[in-house]
Amino acid sequence: AQSVAQPEDQVNVAEGNPLTVKCTYSVSGNPYLFWYVQYPNRGLQFLLKYITGDNLVKGSYGFEAEFNKSQTSFHLKKPSALVSDSALYFCAVRDADSNYQLIWGAGTKLIIKP
């Protein structure tokens, strides 16, 4: 069965430190992978995606993610966290049996402390 796992409900990081939000997936075929961010009382915003090519993908707000095929992971990273990065982060993978369905992780709450 196709699935996305975000093993951490919450991640706490001090401002200025590097951050990682973890995502692993299970999907048949080549995965299309995505990260979205949800700020408080706002809709989700697209951050970045991996379709093909370089395993390190750069996105909005200084975020990047590394696709690791052998570990079936797509962890979100940022070298230096800002308090304004505090939000809910969702990982998603495109359903291999559909050209429009996304399978969503449960989300990880990222808290950046000053």
Partner 1 sequence: GAGVSQSPSNKVTEKGKDVELRCDPISGHTALYWYRQRLGQGLEFLIYFQGNSAPDKSGLPSDRFSAERTGESVSTLTIQRTQQEDSAVYLCASSLAGGPPGELFFGEGSRLTVL
Burial label, 102 (beta-carbon count in 10 A; 0-12, 13-18, 19+): middle
CB of 32 to partner 1, least distance (A): 6
| Cβ-based nearer residue to partner 1, 15 or 109 | 109
Which helix (H) or strand (E) segment holds residue 3: the answer is strand 3-5
Which helix (H) or strand (E) segment holds residue 10: the answer is strand 10-14
Beta bridge pairs of residue 50: 33
CB of 65 to partner 1, least distance (A): 13
Residues that bind partner 1 (CB under 8 A): 32, 34, 36, 41-46, 49, 51, 90, 92, 94, 99-102, 104-107
CB of 43 to partner 1, least distance (A): 4
| Cβ-based nearer residue to partner 1, 64 or 95 | 95
Query: How many other β-carbons are positioned within 10 Å of the β-carbon of residue 9?
Result: 9
| Cβ-based nearer residue to partner 1, 13 or 92 | 92
